[in-house]
Amino acid sequence: MSDYQKQIKQHQIEMEQLEKQLPKLAKAAKEAKSLYAHTRHNRAPYPHGVINDLSNAKSEIARHASEIRRLQTLVDWEDGIRSAGSNIKKAQKEISQVQNDLRKQQDKRAKLSSKLERLEEEKRTEIEKARYVEKQAAASYSVALSDGDDAEEQRAEKALRQASEALAEATRDKRGIATATQALKDEVEKLEATIAESNQTLKDLRHQQLRAARFMWADRLDKAAQDFAAMAAHLHATEKAMGRSSSLTDLYVPLHVPFGPMSINEDTITAKAGAISMEQLIAA
């Protein structure tokens, strides 16, 4: 446990103790106000002490809460810097696994979708063909009736009956195919939901990587900024020793460490330059 975490723990303990006292303090303050309101004609003193005890406890709780938030920011920073590299690698490993699973899910969806389309197309083609055959048989039967050829009429009637039965059979089978088709559709919908979850997981993992990378680059930037400030201070001190005005006016470099100065500016460089000796300026 780091020093910051120990401080957080101590603040939490003290805050919990104060919160346990609040009901008692609130009750005492309420009773004191009520008593004062009923004894004003006797000019009883206002119960400042009791009421202040409640206000002070609330203020202390707010102070502890604020300090816990400040310290937690520092803990998060330290943890983020320390774990940045391992967190990036861990997330990348998980990303690779999710991407592999996602490819399998997408391949399965593509196969099921293809099978679904094929089933629907085959059944549609079968019914259209049966309807065409029935239509042709009906036309042949009509011609046979017109010609008055009994034998041909019987043959045409039989062909029409067979075509109609084939169409009815194809239509009945369609209901069975519809059940299988719906089952495939349900499976595709489940895969769509799974794929959406996988994509969201990938997005979350990428965000974790970027958050870890931000800690890493912010830390490197701050360290580089301190090196830059040291060199800038030497230049500033040199120019001042030569009687020149500083070439570093309007300098501003933001810092990301959640403690210490928020930036490096001209004042920072001037302060650092003031502590540099002539020997340090001319040292090779």
Q: Are residues 197 and 260 in the same domain?
A: no
Q: Which residue has the tokens 């998980």?
A: 94
Q: Are residues 198 and 246 in the same domain?
A: no
> So what's the pLDDT on residue 173?
56
Q: Tell me what the pLDDT averaged over the chain comes to.
A: 86
Q: Are residues 248 and 107 in the same domain?
A: no
Q: Are residues 173 and 96 in the same domain?
A: yes
For residue 182, give the amino acid letter.
Answer: Q
Q: Are residues 84 and 204 in the same domain?
A: yes
> So what's the pLDDT on residue 40?
58
Q: Are residues 247 and 120 in the same domain?
A: no
Which carries the bigger pLDDT value, residue 255 or residue 159?
A: 255
How far, in Å, CA of 87 to CA of 220, rounded? 17
How far, in Å, CA of 165 to CA of 181, rounded? 24
Q: Are residues 151 and 64 in the same domain?
A: yes
> So what's the pLDDT on residue 179?
74
Which one of 226, 245, 268 terminates a domain?
226
Say if strands 263-265 and 252-254 run parallel, antiparallel, or are unpaired: antiparallel
Which carries the bigger pLDDT value, residue 34 or residue 193?
A: 193
Q: Are residues 142 and 240 in the same domain?
A: no
Query: Does the predicted model carry a pTM greater than 0.75?
Result: no
Residue 94 has pLDDT above 90, yes or no: yes
Number of domains in the chain: 2
Q: Are residues 155 and 252 in the same domain?
A: no
Per-residue buried b or exposed e for 120-158, using 16+ beta carbons within 10 Å of the residue's own CB: eeebeebeeebeebbeebeebbeebeeeeeeeebeebee
Full domain range(s) for residue 150: 3-226
How far, in Å, CA of 240 to CA of 148, rounded? 125
> So what's the pLDDT on residue 93?
95
Q: Which residues, other chains included, contact 8 with Cβ-Cβ below 8 Å and sequence gap of 6+?
A: 68, 71, 72, 75
CB 155 within 8 A of CB 185: no
Tell me the pLDDT tens digit for each residue of 30-55.
888 888 777 756 667 778 888 899 99
